Structure 1
Amino acid sequence: MSLTEKINAHVDASAGRIAQTLCDLLAFPSIVKVDPREAGPGERDCQLYLRQRLSALGMETDLWDPDGPALYEKYQGRPGANKGRTFEGRPNLGGILTGAGGGKSLMLTGHIDVVPPGPPEHWHSDPFVPVIKNDAIYGRGAVDMKGGVACMLMAVELLQDLNIRLAGDVVFTTVVDEEIGGMGSLAMVDRGFKADAGIMTEPTANRISPICHGILWGRIILDGIGGHAELTPNSWQSSGPVDAVMLCRQMLDGLDVLNRRWQTQPNKNHPLMALPNQIIVTQLKVGEHPASIAGRAEIVIDVQYLPSEKDEKGLGGHVKKEIEAHVARICAMDPYLAQHPAKVEWILDADCAEIEAEHPFVTTFQQGVKEAELNPQLAGFGAHSDIGLPSTLGQTPTVNFGPGDPAMSHQPNEHVSIADLVACTKAIALTLVRWCGVAEERH
């Protein structure tokens, strides 16, 4: 039996262990909110569990609470630097399994924070009590992205089961804060964790994705003039009420126009991306009282940009200016907004990256994926992921690859199939052998 066959057979036989590892991780409610001070103990508890698993593998581990203000001071204006972040009780985890020498190193990385599960009535079961049903595992974070974390951990464990010692080092990192901007990854890179290449196990349906989108979060504020809804008619004169609901509709229509333009703009499309860049409205806040004409509207947007659009700081400054100019044009067409233009406030800028298809690690990874009987064709990752920080600041060219349908991310009843987990674990284990090299096969 060849080494590839031996690895594949052992991973197949370990499907139950892989599934249990994911269930263990899902049981930690490692929720992060926009205000990280509202985070509970779940992130820390999950990291403590993982540190035990890494220590059992013989890894040298590092568990630390990043210093948010110090990081912001050091990296202000650069990717990952978000003001006001606090990490007390929200640790990052790193581990290094030292190889025998003479091989290339590989970093396996992911995040363990998850978004809130939403209304409990939208779930068939408790989102933090994992359930196995129809050969799939249900729970918040099953896809985004504790499934991937379970696979990268099990890939290392199962190689050790087979007494395979790698020549190169394995660097293992799990971070917090990804769901609100990526400062956890900034802290990880700043800590010095790096390798010759990296795999971030975000959900890609087990396709190698060497590119992700950058993401901007913005708030468009429209100030109207309030008034009694039943007694004072809407007016477009400065002396009377101006309904912010109407202003909001006009702005939403204008954003739709820009989205339609982006559908055919070459710089808003990429051959690996299924869709063009989009401006997605994610939140609306309009009005103050049921009997009052709305005096203010706030539109929160989520905007995608490509690596080719990055500004001199590696962020989305060019796209910010493009949207600000479009909002100004919408306002100029309205007699009231021309005098009282909308304000645009930027909340977040999460960077992006692209690793060239011909990079030696990408082609090596494609061979490992083939050996796991998966599709080696490259694909784009439509959301943001943290590959930009290790790839650029950390000089660790990193690609996305993980189990599960990415469209299931953040949904109620989030789930991943056990078959996907097994296949992902195979691909990572085989790539570790190919990239890091085998020092010896002990018996």
Structure 2
Amino acid sequence: MKNKIRNYIEQNKTALFKTIQELVQIETVVGNEMVGQAYMKRKFAEIGLTIHEVAPDYEELAKHEAFVDSEIPFAGRTNLVGIHHGVGDGKSLTLHGHIDVVPPEPVGNWTVDPWGAEIIDGKLYGRGAADMKSGLIANWFALKTLIDLAYPITGDVQLHSVIEEEAGGGGGALACLEAGFRTDGYISTEPHHFNTTISHAGIMYFRVKVVGRTAHAGLAHHGINAISKMYKIVAALEELNELRAQNVKFDLYEKGSGQSVHLNLGVLRAGDWVSTVPGGAMLECRIGFIPGESRKEIKKLIQETVARAVVDDDWFKAHPPEIEWFGWTTEPWYQDPEHSFVQGFLKTAGDVLGRDVKIVGRASGNDARFTQYYNGMAGICFGPVGENMHGPDENVHLESVVEVVNVFANYIIDWSESARENGETSG
């Protein structure tokens, strides 16, 4: 069967590439995903899947400890689950991908159209090409391969196309799992360069607000410049980032990302007129942390760092900076590497690729983390080779997508037909 799968994919890979192109050409910036979801619904129907649309319920999801509030309304936005029902009682599998992408700005930094999906020297360029529309289509094509070859898959296979992963996944992957669409195993096809990711760092977003005192620029000595005040906090946070990068280590993240933790100063806004002393400034940041560190400890660390930065400033004594926590908030995720799902996948992937597949961790987050909240459900990430995710000229290596499809088609068979162990239940 392995040779039949490879031959089918090779003979049809032009159609695979064209499908990725079509999806990349659809603008699905987070919050505006539904044109892309309509495309995926047609693709699910094309191979005869039973299709479910999952509308996220804010009130219900907000009760879950893993919920992330994206602050983007859920109205009019749905997730898609396509199910191929197995012919027996084999183990079930989810192949997961997110339809949303981050904005391409500044577009002037691209050398190609971010929505053009051009293929140049074997790479497909465009926003979301790697992160992660190629993975989303690889999932579909792997299942399509087995259906077209009339292979009798024994277990159910679910394809998930979800919204707002880039904003935390609360209304996307979590909504699908909470709606009951759960399986024995779960793969998120993020671009992980043929590595098997079993862990990622904890992530939290926070903002710091500083007030100043406005004044005319010609009388600036009567004002208090919020930008200047904010830079004391900026310097302190940059120093903290450097210290943590040197001293906080987790081996899997060092292997997978090259650095275990990051404190990124992502957004700075201040002032509203060039001739006015700015009366306010706001800084938004993302901090990562490793297993063994908790959200409570990280909050305390940031609060203490900001407090030390302003302790000798008389203005801040009367007008202390405010810290707010928002958006992404997740504990670190760690999947037991000895689980049969992980070990079975490593064997199948190694056999298909003809080399050992490494286990790594990531300093960035992904939707597979939600599996840790559901007993009997194992999760990993595995995906193609991509470059410049979230940056200009994002691209995916197309032949690597071919190999991912090959691995998944074979693993659908191997996993569904593997022996069921105690504590494992089909979804």
Name the residue aligned to 1:60: 50
1:289 aligns with 2:273: yes
Name the residue aligned to 2:340: 360
Aligned partners of 2:167 and 2:328 also within 8 Å: no
Name the residue aligned to 1:401: 382
Shift of 1:339: 3.5
Match of 2:212 among 189, 202, 224: 224
What does the per-residue CA deviation read over 1:27-58, in whole Å, with 9 as the maximum and x for residues that have no partner? 221112xxx4xx3xxx2222222222223323
Aligned partners of 1:381 and 1:400 also within 8 Å: no
Name the residue aligned to 2:238: 256
Name the residue aligned to 1:237: none
Shift of 1:338: 3.4
What does the per-residue CA deviation read over 1:194-220, in whole Å, with 9 as the maximum and x for residues that have no partner? 111110011111211111223211111
Aligned partners of 2:69 and 2:326 also within 8 Å: no
- Three-state SS of the structure 1 residue aligned to 2:77 is coil
Aligned partners of 1:105 and 1:170 also within 8 Å: yes
What does the per-residue CA deviation read over 1:287-327, in whole Å, with 9 as the maximum and x for residues that have no partner? 232123332221110111234334xxxxx333122211221
Q: When the two structures are aligned, how many residues end up with a matched partner?
A: 413
In structure 1, C-alpha distance between the alignment counterparts of 2:39 and 2:191, rounded to whole Å? 22
In structure 1, C-alpha distance between the alignment counterparts of 2:418 and 2:250, rounded to whole Å? 41
Matches within 5 A, 1:78-97: 78-82=65-69, 84-97=71-84
- Three-state SS of the structure 2 residue aligned to 1:367 is helix
Shift of 1:382: 2.3
Shift of 1:68: 2.5
Shift of 1:81: 4.3
Aligned partners of 2:189 and 2:382 also within 8 Å: yes
1:414 aligns with 2:394: yes
In structure 1, C-alpha distance between the alignment counterparts of 2:112 and 2:241, rounded to whole Å? 37
Aligned partners of 1:63 and 1:91 also within 8 Å: yes
In structure 2, C-alpha distance between the alignment counterparts of 1:330 and 1:426, rounded to whole Å? 53
In structure 1, C-alpha distance between the alignment counterparts of 2:239 and 2:149, rounded to whole Å? 58
Name the residue aligned to 2:28: 30
Q: Which amino acid letter does the alignment assign opposite residue 248 of structure 1?
A: M
TM-score by length of 1: 0.87
What does the per-residue CA deviation read over 1:235-266, in whole Å, with 9 as the maximum and x for residues that have no partner? xxxxx533222222211111122112212434
Distance 1:277 1:83, change over 3 A: closer
Structure 2: 5+ residue stretches without partners: 420-427
Shift of 1:86: 2.4
1:304 aligns with 2:256: no
Superposition CA RMSD, Å: 2.2
In structure 1, C-alpha distance between the alignment counterparts of 2:346 and 2:212, rounded to whole Å? 55
Aligned partners of 1:185 and 1:390 also within 8 Å: no
- Three-state SS of the structure 2 residue aligned to 1:309 is coil
Aligned partners of 2:190 and 2:383 also within 8 Å: yes
Distance 1:333 1:359, change over 3 A: farther
In structure 2, C-alpha distance between the alignment counterparts of 1:28 and 1:196, rounded to whole Å? 32
Name the residue aligned to 1:236: none
Matches within 5 A, 1:144-155: 144-155=131-142
1:277 aligns with 2:261: yes
Match of 1:392 among 362, 370, 373: 373
After alignment, is 80-89 or 91-100 more displaced? 80-89
Aligned partners of 1:93 and 1:173 also within 8 Å: yes
In structure 2, C-alpha distance between the alignment counterparts of 1:357 and 1:138, rounded to whole Å? 33
Structure 1: 5+ residue stretches without partners: 234-239, 311-315
Aligned partners of 2:68 and 2:328 also within 8 Å: no
After alignment, is 199-208 or 285-294 more displaced? 285-294
Matches within 5 A, 1:67-216: 67-72=57-62, 74-75=63-64, 78-82=65-69, 84-183=71-170, 184-216=172-204
Name the residue aligned to 1:433: 413
Distance 1:185 1:394, change over 3 A: farther
What does the per-residue CA deviation read over 1:362-414, in whole Å, with 9 as the maximum and x for residues that have no partner? 11111122122254111222211111223324752211111133x52112221
Aligned partners of 2:93 and 2:156 also within 8 Å: yes
